[in-house]
Structures are given as C-alpha cells and as structure tokens.
Amino acid sequence: MITPAVRLTGLTKTFGDVTAVAGIDLDIEDGEFITLLGPSGSGKTTVLRMIAGFELPTAGTVHLDGVDVTTAPPFARDVNTVFQDYALFPHMTVLDNVAYGLRVKGIGKTERRAQAAAALAAVRLDDFGARKPAQMSGGQRQRVALARALVNRPKVLLLDEPLGALDLKLREQMQVELKEIQREAGITFVFVTHDQEEALTMSDRIVVFNDGQIEQVGEPAEVYEKPATEFVAGFVGTSNLIRTDAADQILGKRGVFSIRPEKLRVVDVGTSVGGDERSATGVVREVVYVGSTTRFVVRLDVGGELVAMQQNQERSSMEVMGMRDRPVRLVWDQRHEFHVADAS
C-alpha cells in the first residue's frame, strides 16, 4: 500500500462554540495537486493551517508521509507555506530572499546560492536574482515566494490563496504556470481557494468544503459534471436545479436534479426531441449577450426557471437579442441531469 503524502483522520477544530472543521477524513497522494475549495468560513484555510502546524486540532490526527505530526511544531514538519502577501524581505535581493531558508539551516554560501539560482530557474526567473522585490511585478514576486518555498524541497507545499492579489489576466497566466511548475517539481501541492475556475484549471482533485465538512472529492470534470450535492451544484460553476414538482412533471421522478446551462439547447417550440433527450417548454424572460456566448433565462410553463448558455456560432447578436418573450423549447440529453437531493 502506498503511503499518502498527507492523511487527515477525524480532523476537528473548534473555536469556543464554533466548529470550524467537523471531523474530516482525507488522503492526499504523493505528487498530487489538490485544491481545497469553498466559500469564506467553510473550513478550508483552517485545515491548511492544521497541516502546517499553525493550528492544533481539537480532535483527530495529521500524518505526513506516514508520520504522526499532529502536535509537532511547524518547523518540525516537512512542509512550506506560500501566502497571499508573499512576505518577501524588501531590503534583500531576490536571490538572497530565496536563499534565506537555506542560510537559516546553516548551508554554506556557495551551495545555498547555487540552490537558490536553481529554484529561480524553476520558476522562470533566472535573470532576476540581483533585483529587489520592489523592482518586480506582482506575478514575479509571487514566483519568488514560490521559489523560496520550493528551494528546501519540502514534502508538501501549502498555498493559501496565493493568486488572490493579482489582476484577472495575470492570475489566469499564473494558474497555468503554477501547474507546470508543480508537475516539473514533483512536489505535493495543497492549494486553498474560493475561486471555482482556479480550482478547475489547476487541480488533479478538488475537495469541496461547506460549513466545516467535505461535500465532495473528485477530479475537476467529475465535480463539475456530476455534483454530488445541491451545494456543489450551486457553488462549482453555474447550475440549474430542477426541484420536486417540476422534476416530477419534466423528468418523471421526484427530488432535486442539476443540469448545467451549457448542456441545454434553445430551439423552437415545435422542434422534435430524440429518444435519449428530454425537453421543457417556456418563455424567454431575459437574454444576456456576452460576446462569444448568450445566456437565456427561460420561465418554464410548469413553473420555475432554467438558464441556458449557448455559443454564438450561428445566430447574430440582433437575432439573439430579439428572442426575449419568445416561446421556446429547452432540450437536453438525459445523461446531463444529476440527482443531488431527495424530495423534501
């Protein structure tokens, strides 16, 4: 049996009367890029801090590479943490910032500078060692912080919303680069974020947190395409929820079912439906044109609303905008409807 890089068993953390983490179990494999995803207050950052040793569990255990480190101090754990604010020393050069941890460990000057230079090369900053942090962009400073964490070759690297301070375009660029760096380094990354797109873009697996508990663990496509609960369906991306009465009439079964907007086709009311397809009629209440795509909000004849998202491949923008108040039929393949809750 392969020993996981991180094993959390019955992990619990309370602050007075508040339970931040409620007895979770989770194995993180060696070399995996795993993301803890959830809204503010869901417990994901508290879990990261317990892995790092900054918080001690109220109950449960933390194992790193098979060793129980539940009560060990942070410096005794083979992990490093990258924070959102970078925490670089402004008076030091970039190379000295990266080499700082090695200096604390007593590694000689020549060796630590060589290792620091190699770490900078790993994050594509080979020629920036002589600069000061203030002379670099936000994305470059983020990579310096990453190099400083990687230079010690930790068993696990913990990243607490490290891209949150970057603008959208730079954040998207760093998402791709961070995944490439992780793959090349071969180190286990545990990444915390509340950004669903960030999690879907970078992760080998996603752990969805809500109210101190794990709602679902799975590969990005699995979590997105097959949400296990109503919370996951609503939090990870955009989802339609067909509830009890409408589900009974449209699907012929009771409960709450999830369908992603891009799985719905908007067609004329008289359009025929294939054998593996379902459909529902309604009236277009709102049309939102977003350039490459259009979002249609359709009020169903049986009650409730569904949102459909379509690529603007054939219809012109004028034609799309003219569909408001038009009767339509929504069509989808039965494979794309997922049960997420029982009828109340």
Which is more confident, 54 or 139?
54
N-term to C-term CA, the chain: 42
Mean pLDDT, range 149-157, rounded to an integer:
90
Q: Identify the pLDDT of residue 142.
A: 85
CA torsion, ordered 118, 32, 38, 263, to nearest 10 deg: 110
The burial class, CB within 10 Å (0-12 / 13-18 / 19+), for 150 is buried
Residue type, 258: S
* Mean pLDDT to the nearest integer, 165-194: 88
Better-predicted residue by pLDDT, 286 or 143:
286
- How many residues belong to the chain? 344
157 and 79 Cβ atoms separated by less than 8 Å: yes
Please say whether the beta carbons of 227 and 338 come within 8 A.
yes
**Contact indicator for 148, 100 with CB cutoff of 8 Å:** yes
Confidence of residue 139 (pLDDT cuts 50, 70, 90): confident
Contact 138, 166 (CB under 8 A): yes
pLDDT band at 26 (very low <50, low <70, confident <90, very high): very high
Give the model confidence (pLDDT) of 239-285 as tens digits: 899 988 888 999 988 899 999 999 999 999 999 888 899 999 999 99
In this predicted structure, what is the pLDDT of residue 1? 76
> DSSP letter string over 92-114?
S-HHHHHHHHHHHTT--HHHHHH
Average pLDDT over residues 160-177: 83
Exposed/middle/buried for 126, CB within 10 Å: 0-12, 13-18, 19+?
exposed
- pLDDT the model gives residue 98: 93
CATH topology of domain 6-235: Rossmann fold (3.40.50)
Q: Tell me which residue has tokens 């379902």.
A: 278
- In tens, the pLDDT along 97-136 reads 999 988 888 889 999 999 999 989 888 888 899 999 999 9
CA proximity to 97, closest of 121, 129, 69: 129
> Is the model's pLDDT at 84 over the cut of 90?
no
Q: What percent of the chain has pLDDT over 90?
A: 65
Mean pLDDT of the chain: 91
Domain boundaries, the chain: 6-235, 240-341
Contacts with 19 (C-beta within 8 Å, 6 or more apart), sequence order: 12, 13, 212
Instruction: State yes or no: pLDDT of 179 exceeds 70.
Output: yes
The answer on pLDDT for 321 being more than 90 is: no
Overall average pLDDT of the 3-23 stretch = 97
Q: What is the pLDDT of residue 344?
A: 61
- Helix (DSSP H) and strand (DSSP E) numbers for the chain: 10, 18
Beta-sheet strands, E only, within the chain: 6-15, 18-28, 33-37, 59-64, 67-68, 79-82, 156-160, 188-193, 205-210, 213-218, 240-242, 256-259, 265-267, 277-289, 293-300, 305-311, 327-333, 338-341
d(CA 249, CA 339): 15
85: confidence class by pLDDT, cuts 50, 70, 90:
confident
Report the CATH fold assignment for 240-341.
Answer: OB fold (Dihydrolipoamide Acetyltransferase, E2P) (2.40.50)
Residue type, 300: L
Lowest average pLDDT, out of 8-17, 29-38, 81-90, 327-336, goes to 81-90
pLDDT tens profile 275-304: 899 999 999 999 998 888 999 999 999 988
Mean pLDDT of 143-168: 87
Q: Taking the complete model, does pTM exceed 0.85, yes or no? A: yes
pLDDT(205) > 90: yes
Which pLDDT value is given to residue 138? 84
**pLDDT bracket for residue 318 (50, 70, 90):** confident
pLDDT of residue 313: 78
Pairing mode, strands 256-259 and 240-242:
antiparallel
C-alpha dihedral (317, 322, 323, 327), degrees to nearest 10: -160
* Of 208, 198, 197, residue with least CA distance to 230: 208
